[in-house]
Amino acid sequence: MPHSLWLKAVGTAAAATLAATAAAHAAHAPDPATAPAPAKNAAAVVTLRYDDSRAAGWETAVTAGVASWNQNVANVRLVEAAPGTRAEIQIVATSGWPQATLGPVRPGGQVRVELGSQAVSQGHDRTRIAAHEIGHSLGLPDTKPGPCTQLMSGSSAGTSCRNAVPNTTERARVESAYANGLARLTPADGRTLVDAP
């Protein structure tokens, strides 16, 4: 077979093989009109550090209050600051009424939570106090008076209330404040909310 005819035969065979392969691939490729949409990226999670090194006697309550928020809000994660590092949420024990700076606090910003023993001496639950004050840091104001089912009702729910879990509305407000990472996050309000009755 002359060389030119051989090349032509090989070229034709190769073209036929490529066409058959492309056709087979097309038969198994998903139809763009019916293919499922690509999954959306998971919501950006904002990490906030807290420092409770000056909250002696409140460590268990702080740990439980932080856990309550971490278990109930998906786009905010509270983590304990490593020693010597700056924390966005400064938590301290005081002898007065609990109070906190109203957030939402941004990463790199700073708010203060005061866990006042005066509320405990009157019978209020430490874990509820800690979770409530952290809620202020995340941008939630008081909802007084209110029922025990509202974490942000604070002391108005009475001393028998032990609920330290944000309700659906409270969770949604925090999720909304931190939606899309920091895209919509306004700086902390800066007001101090005192939780005396």
Residues in the chain: 197
d(CA 127, CA 68): 10
User: Which tokens hold the place of 55?
Assistant: 């909250």
Q: Is 133 a catalytic residue?
A: yes
Q: How far is CA 80 from the centre of its chain?
A: 14
Tokens of 174: 């925090």
The active-site residue out of 59, 80, 88, 133 is 133
Contacts of 65 (CB under 8 A, 6+ apart): 127, 129, 130, 131, 132, 133, 134, 164
Residues with a catalytic annotation lie at: 133
